[in-house]
Chain A
């Protein structure tokens, strides 16, 4: 092989990968350098031989097998995507349920047991009170009425 420095660029020139200016310079050089011209012919023969290499074609059966594999993978991918979406939806629902059960922004209404006099005090009834507690409650209500000057 020649020691010409341009030999290294011949590979890129052969592949059409040199910038225009470099390509023109090398083409001018090739008209003067037999070693480079010989190397270029050698590269072209090598590429031609590789293009004619007896690599078998992919058989129709093999292509069909690949198609079946593609279909199987597609089904798995779609199933995986669907499962993930369902899981996300379920997570959102659970999160909402947990949030709501924890109170969220809704004020909780609590009920406490009223004392007897409290119950009596808020109960409207035409019937006279019977128990002492009820009588006391009635008295408190009456005393607090407007007729006695209270607001």
Chain B
């Protein structure tokens, strides 16, 4: 899905202007503006959430927590970053919190190691039609098995279409760090896929 990244600069300016108007109305308490923000950004952010947490139920929870947190702090949002960057930053943090919680629960329940392929497979089997799981499960399983910092940059780039500068703002790291992480993330994902193809 390539939308924002490929839009001409004039289109981006119009989009940013429309976003600014919606945020301004939301800050003024306009209930339609809140819903408009959800409708405009939820579908794209859901893909990001799913790629980060690996299943539909958790993705919806993370997405909900993202919007709750965003709206609570809306009065303090100064619109220096785009709305998409701002929401993506909140979502990445919520997903990281989700992973920490899941890791603690896993330790308590004495389940398999983090990113174990078997558990990810089971979770995704519950979300998708049976005929899709066998042929497509390897890619998302490989993504789920990556280190969190690699999964984050890949998801932000491939599912959100953010620029390196936007990703730097979301993750709070220098642009050069984004570039090197993305390079290593892609190499790591290709290695994981090699393992999947071998089994």
Contact = CB atoms under 8 A, between A and B. Distances in A.
Interface of A: 1, 8, 11-12, 15-17, 42-43, 46-47, 49-51, 53-58, 62-63, 65-67, 69-71, 73-74, 76-78, 81
A12 to B, nearest CB: 5
Interface stretch (B41-49, B92-100, B101-109, B111-119): B41-49
A15 to B, nearest CB: 7
B39 interface: yes
B186 A46 contact: yes
A70 B132 contact: no
B24 interface: no
A16 B163 CA distance: 9
Given A69-B64, A70-B67, A50 B159 contact: yes
Q: Chain B: interface residue count, which band?
A: 35 or more
B41 to A, nearest CB: 10
A104 B35 CA distance: 51
Interface string B44-86: 0011001100001000100110011001101100000000000
Given A50-B154, A54-B132, A66-B42, A74 B31 contact: yes
21 contacts: A8-B180, A11-B179, A12-B179, A12-B183, A15-B157, A15-B182, A46-B189, A53-B140, A54-B140, A55-B159, A56-B127, A58-B46, A63-B38, A65-B64, A69-B64, A70-B38, A71-B31, A74-B29, A74-B71, A81-B29, A81-B75
B29 A50 contact: no
Interface string B4-46: 0100000000000000000000100101001101110011001
B186 A43 contact: yes
B86 to A, nearest CB: 15
B1 A51 contact: yes
A20 B189 CA distance: 28
A17 B164 contact: yes
A11 B182 contact: yes
